[in-house]
Amino acid sequence: MSPSALSSALLAVAAVSRITFVNAQPDPADPTPLVDKHYAYPSGIPYQVDYNTAAIRGPQVGYNICNSTTENQNSMCQTSFVNHIDDFCLWAPPQPNSTIGDTEGQEVAWCTKPGHGTRVMPAGALQGVQLIKTPNYIQIAGFIDQTQVNIAAGDYGGELDPHGADLRGNPLGGLMYSNAFPSNGGNNASYQQVIDWTKCVPSMRLLCLSDIYFSFMGGDAFCMKICDPAGQNQQALCQNIYDRLGCEYNAPNNAQKGVFEVCEGDDMSPVGVYTTNGATSTYYQPPESLGPITTVPYTPTPAPSSNCVTYASTALYTSQPAPTGAATSAGASGAKTTASGTGSAVSPAKTGGAATMGVSLGAGLVGVVFAMAFLS
């Protein structure tokens, strides 16, 4: 079968049902979905949580035990954190000039500060960050010089979450922890794995598509949301079935370039749910096989927020390495226009009519189509 015939076939399958994929466990040697792997921090974490070496996507490229010996700019640590505006990590590629679509299974943790055994985002990479803490989740959205974290200039990126068609996650074996939820004392003292496992029973596997966290990277912007494991409505609030709609829909926000702020906020309306003339409807993202998304029947608005406290970035990010020169001068300037052109909120452009950030429209297009059809 030619590659294009293969992808058409895959897309046709993709159009039918995501259940087909979620049941696809390629290796009986490691049948446990990533969302069902739970480890106490730090002692319970194995070297690699994904020991599936024979699977179609290959082995986990990094590791999960991360410490001072793994903390450097070549770290392959895949254990990530979302704690505070000065202490969170993004998933980004291990090699320079990569698209998210081509490397979604391999992303490594890039954190705002040392101490987690990971890479550290270079100084100045973050260009504006809004953290909103709501009753049930923490959302972080912002602008980034993505070339500083190895994302190719102009790449619109995609969604990273603990699923994927083979249930091994994107990245494969990626773990997420937080010390910030009230259910955990909220005292920075101990880490809680951010994962929704109580509702994730096999007979309800479709519901498990609703994530407890996701992050979108690309388009010189990012957003992520982690739902409180002890909170309400995680299924709707940290949903990942709208992966082609980007931050504007999945994490409505008021992030601005040059502003670093922490706000309190209400929970957003679940993605896809909207009201017209008093009637509530739910929009579902169409399958990729139907082509680019040209219209969505509603425009999201950020939920009300208040008590925003702004910080100087120099006060928040004090221990970051110097930026890598080449990327700063060449890559970033060409790409930045995309993010700044969208106005204040992180809502990467709907290029060519497609609402993006969930789909790579750049060099990674072929890769991401393949990956989403087969593996996402």
Which region, judged by CB under 6 A, interacts with ligand NAG, from 83-91, 167-175, 227-235, 299-307? 83-91
Minimum distance from residue 307 beta carbon to ligand NAG (Å): 14
Which of 70/106 has CB closer to ligand NAG? 70
Give the CA distances from residue 208 to residues 241, 250, 273, 341, in Å, rounded to whole numbers and listed in that order.
10, 17, 19, 36
Question: What sign does the dihedral 36-42-44-47 (CA atoms) show?
Answer: positive
- Count other Cβ atoms within 10 Å, centred on residue 135: 14
Q: Pick one of 84, 116, 168, 350: the residue that binds ligand NAG (CB under 6 A).
A: 84
Kindly state whether residue 74 participates in binding ligand NAG, applying the rule CB under 6 A. Answer: no
Using CA of residue 317, residue 322, residue 325, residue 327, what is the dihedral sign? Answer: negative
Q: Provide the 10 A C-beta neighbour count for residue 91.
A: 26
Which residue's CB is nearer to ligand NAG, number 31 or number 185?
Answer: 185
307 is a site residue for ligand NAG (CB under 6 A)? no
Residue 331 as a binder of ligand NAG (CB under 6 A): the answer is yes
- Among positions 341-370, residues that touch ligand NAG (CB under 6 A) are 363
Q: How near is the Cβ of 204 to ligand NAG at its closest, in Å?
A: 34
Residues in the chain: 376
> Is the dihedral angle over the CA atoms 372, 141, 214, 285 positive or is it negative?
negative
By CB under 6 A, residue 119 contacts ligand NAG = no
Least Å distance, CB 67 to ligand NAG, is 4
> Binding to ligand NAG (CB under 6 A): which residues in 40-69?
47, 63, 65, 67, 69
The CB-of-254 to ligand NAG minimum distance in angstroms stands at 21
Smallest distance from ligand NAG to CB 357, Å: 20
- # binding residues, ligand NAG (CB under 6 A): 16
Rounded least distance, CB 73 to ligand NAG, Å:
16
Q: Is 87 in the site for ligand NAG (CB under 6 A)?
A: yes
Whose CB is nearest to ligand NAG?
65
Instruction: State the Cα–Cα distance between residues 190 and 72, nearest whole angstrom.
Output: 24
Tell me whether the omega of the peptide bond preceding residue 122 falls within 30 degrees of 0, making it cis. Answer: no
Interface mask (CB under 6 A) for ligand NAG, residues 180-219, using x and -? -------xx-------------------------------
If binding is defined by CB under 6 A, does position 299 make contact with ligand NAG? no
Site string for ligand NAG, 137-156 (x = CB under 6 A): ---------------x----
**CA contacts within 13 A on the Cβ side of 244:** 25
Say which amino acid occupies 113.
Answer: K
Q: Which is nearer to ligand NAG, 14 or 49 (CB)?
A: 49
Q: For residue 258, how many other CB atoms are within 10 A of its CB?
A: 9
**Interface contacts to ligand NAG, rule CB under 6 A:** 47, 63, 65, 67, 69-70, 84, 86-87, 97, 152, 187-188, 330-331, 363
